[in-house]
Amino acid sequence: MCYSKTALNSQFFCGICTMSSASNSGILTMANTYPFPRAFHDFTICDIEEENFNNITCQSNDNVSHIPVMAEEVLSVLNPKENQIIVDMTFGSGGHTKEILRRCPLLKQLIALDRDPVAYQLSVDLSKQFRPGQILPFLGTFEDLPSLLSKEKIPANSIDGILIDAGVSSMQLDTAERGFSLSKDGLLDMRMDGLRNKDQPSAAMVINTLDEKNLCAVIKKYGEDKNAHKIARAIIEARAAFGKIESTKHLATIVASVFDSPFNKDMLGRPAHVATKTFQALRIFVNNELNQLSNGLHVAHHYLRPGGRCVVLTFHSLEDRIVKRHFHSIDLKAPKNMSLSYQQLQSTVKTLDNELLQSIVNKKWTPLQKKVITATHEEILKNPRSRSAKLRVATKERGSGEKE
Ligand SMILES: C[S@@+](CC[C@H](N)C(=O)[O-])C[C@H]1O[C@@H](n2cnc3c(N)ncnc32)[C@H](O)[C@@H]1O
């Protein structure tokens, strides 16, 4: 494997970048405005080792033990109806897709997208159990969706409902070789795309290559871990002493060395490993998850019909903040701790007259709920993953987007 350390570090923070990954299709050009570093899309990486999941076999749909999070609430706000077209932008193991089709067997079409080749294969398998064409499986990221839809001649303003269940799937977490999980020893990989994109570095490449300052920035920004400095130092020292850090267990042990105990308490007072936030940070960084989510919401808006519904489940505050800001038309770059009403007030004060008028005219979404929806106590007991879930739903403004 050869890739330039200096390139990785010097190009690490490119700040606000403009990206037009969807523009090949000529349909939609997205400005990637989320003010966080991008993953290493521009770095030269030659000769990626093909050691990982070429051999992972896809389990059949029936064997995948996955409980879709907040399925009741998701179905109730998505409200799929006969003859509609719904896009599940995060197919995963198909938990929500199956529930949508179970409750609405006369749905015209369900488009199932996932960037993970294993999930894609599951969607292909599932599609065979339904009427031909009723499930349309797509392999790609949110940013690939415009070109995939255009190949099928599906135009803007035509989709009735869109679901995004963000983040990592239980299937990805449970497969040790994917390197997402703290509790299962595996190679530190974490690429949701598998080996589809040869220029996407694995988590091991990131951990073994970034300098201390940038490692600290990743852990702080994406893990929101106040011990980021100490953790980054420990990683650099471990690299110097023992060489490359290749496995999930190895990284977890290094992070734990910074703390008095390897476990602290989570929101529910249950033990959580101290490396959880570092793992979250790496995963978000490797998969460019925040920019993907932000751009995914632009794509969703473009393809929904006016009045169509966008339903989003998120699992940590960084993601939820992005969704909230899209749905409430708040500047993505505004400071994070301002209350919503204060931000709206600020923007009103700053932008009286023309700009305010423009923002009203350009309002893109109408949130359907005032408050974020969370899982019930009963669901949290049955499915602990739902404890941090936040559900938001908005409709595309009528009159918005027809000229896009
Ligand atoms: C939480 S799981 C979805 C689980 C699914 N709702 C179910 O019930 O089985 C998230 C899935 O979204 C996929 N994903 C995450 N970000 C994505 C992106 N930017 N583009 C496409 N797929 C993405 C992941 O690969 C993963 O399979």
pLDDT of residue 269: 77
Total Cβ atoms within 10 A of residue 383: 18
pLDDT of residue 66: 74
217 in a structural domain? no
Q: Hey, whose CA ends up nearest to atom 20 of ligand 1?
A: 141
Element housing 365 (H / E): strand 365-367
Q: Are 214 and 53 in contact (CB under 8 A)?
A: no
Residue-number span of the structural domain to which 297 is assigned: 1-201+274-329+364-404
Which atom of ligand 1 is nearest the CA belonging to 92?
A: 27
Rounded distance from Cα 283 to ligand 1 centre (Å): 13
CA 160 centroid distance within chain: 22
What number is the average pLDDT over the span 271-292?
96
The C-alpha atoms of residue 230 and residue 278 are separated, in whole angstroms, by 12
Which of 192, 295, 297, 314 for a ligand 1 pocket mutation test, highest count of atoms within 8 Å of Cβ?
192
pLDDT tens for residues 314-349?
999 999 999 999 999 887 777 665 444 445 445 544
What number is the average pLDDT over the span 156-179?
96
The tokens of 346 are what? 């600020």
Which of 184, 296, 340 is CA-nearest to residue 248?
A: 184
For the Cβ of 375 lying below 6 angstroms from any atom of ligand 1, the answer is: no
215 in a structural domain? no
Q: Are 72 and 136 in contact (CB under 8 A)?
A: no
pLDDT of residue 41: 33
Q: Hey, whose CA ends up nearest to atom 8 of ligand 1?
A: 95
For the Cβ of 189 lying below 6 angstroms from any atom of ligand 1, the answer is: no
Q: Hey, whose CA ends up nearest to atom 2 of ligand 1?
A: 169
pLDDT of residue 35: 38
Sequence-separated (6 or more) residues with CB below 8 Å from residue 336: 321
Q: pLDDT band at 232, cuts 50/70/90?
A: very high
Angle at 217 between CA 214 and CA 220, to 5 degrees: 150
Which of 87, 132, 133, 134 is CA-nearest to residue 114?
A: 87
Residue for token pair 């890739």: 3
pLDDT tens for residues 117-153?
999 999 999 999 999 999 999 999 999 999 999 999 9
* E strands in 230-339: 263-265, 271-273, 304-314
For the Cβ of 96 lying below 6 angstroms from any atom of ligand 1, the answer is: yes
243 in a structural domain? no
Lowest mean pLDDT among 12-26, 59-73, 95-109: 12-26
The C-alpha atoms of residue 109 and residue 115 are separated, in whole angstroms, by 20
* E strands in 159-276: 159-165, 263-265, 271-273
Which amino acid is residue 131, in one-letter code?
R
Q: pLDDT band at 400, cuts 50/70/90?
A: low
Q: In total, how many domains does the chain have?
A: 1
214 in a structural domain? no
For the Cβ of 319 lying below 6 angstroms from any atom of ligand 1, the answer is: no
Q: Which residues of 56-91 are buried (b: 16+ CB within 10 A; e: fewer)?
A: eebbebeebebebbbbebbbebbebeeebbbbbbbb
Lowest mean pLDDT among 2-11, 15-24, 193-202, 338-347: 15-24
264 in a structural domain? no
Which atom of ligand 1 is nearest the CA belonging to 288?
A: 19
For the Cβ of 194 lying below 6 angstroms from any atom of ligand 1, the answer is: no
39 in a structural domain? yes
Sign of the torsion angle spanned by Cα atoms 146, 152, 158, 163: negative
More confident residue, 5 or 282: 282
Predicted confidence (pLDDT) at residue 40 exceeds the cutoff of 90: no
Burial class (CB in 10 A: 0-12, 13-18, 19+), 284: buried
Which atom of ligand 1 is nearest the CA belonging to 119?
A: 27
pLDDT of residue 173: 93
Rounded percentage of the chain residues whose pLDDT exceeds 70: 75
Which of 90, 149, 191 for a ligand 1 pocket mutation test, highest count of atoms within 8 Å of Cβ?
90
The C-alpha atoms of residue 393 and residue 256 are separated, in whole angstroms, by 38
Rounded distance from Cα 193 to ligand 1 centre (Å): 11
Mean pLDDT of the chain: 82
Q: pLDDT band at 38, cuts 50/70/90?
A: very low
15 in a structural domain? yes
Which atom of ligand 1 is nearest the CA belonging to 69?
A: 8
Residue 16 DSSP class: S
Predicted confidence (pLDDT) at residue 17 exceeds the cutoff of 70: no
Rounded distance from Cα 34 to ligand 1 centre (Å): 20
For the Cβ of 142 lying below 6 angstroms from any atom of ligand 1, the answer is: yes
Which of 91, 121, 385 for a ligand 1 pocket mutation test, highest count of atoms within 8 Å of Cβ?
91
pLDDT of residue 271: 84
Element housing 8 (H / E): helix 5-10
The C-alpha atoms of residue 187 and residue 180 are separated, in whole angstroms, by 9
What number is the average pLDDT over the span 14-23?
32
The C-alpha atoms of residue 26 and residue 153 are separated, in whole angstroms, by 13
Q: Are 375 and 386 in contact (CB under 8 A)?
A: yes
What number is the average pLDDT over the span 270-279?
92
Predicted confidence (pLDDT) at residue 284 exceeds the cutoff of 70: yes
Residue 75: give its domain's CATH number.
3.40.50.150
Which amino acid is residue 192, in one-letter code?
M
Predicted confidence (pLDDT) at residue 303 exceeds the cutoff of 90: yes
Q: Are 133 and 186 in contact (CB under 8 A)?
A: no
Backbone torsion region of residue 140, taken as left when φ is above 0, otherwise alpha when ψ lies between -120 and 50, otherwise beta: left
pTM for this entry: 0.84
Total Cβ atoms within 10 A of residue 147: 18
pLDDT of residue 360: 54
The C-alpha atoms of residue 299 and residue 29 are separated, in whole angstroms, by 9
The C-alpha atoms of residue 67 and residue 383 are separated, in whole angstroms, by 7
Q: Please give the C-alpha separations between residue 28 and each of 40, 88, 146, 150, 156, in angstroms, as whole numbers.
A: 23, 20, 7, 10, 9
391 in a structural domain? yes
Rounded distance from Cα 326 to ligand 1 centre (Å): 20
Rg (alpha carbons) of the chain, rounded to whole number: 21
Q: pLDDT band at 65, cuts 50/70/90?
A: low
pLDDT of residue 329: 87
More confident residue, 30 or 301: 301
Can you tell me whether residue 242 is helix, strand or coil? helix
The C-alpha atoms of residue 253 and residue 237 are separated, in whole angstroms, by 13
pLDDT tens for residues 344-378?
445 544 444 555 455 555 679 999 998 999 999 99
pLDDT of residue 42: 28
pLDDT of residue 337: 56
pLDDT of residue 171: 94
pLDDT of residue 330: 84
Q: Are 312 and 166 in contact (CB under 8 A)?
A: yes
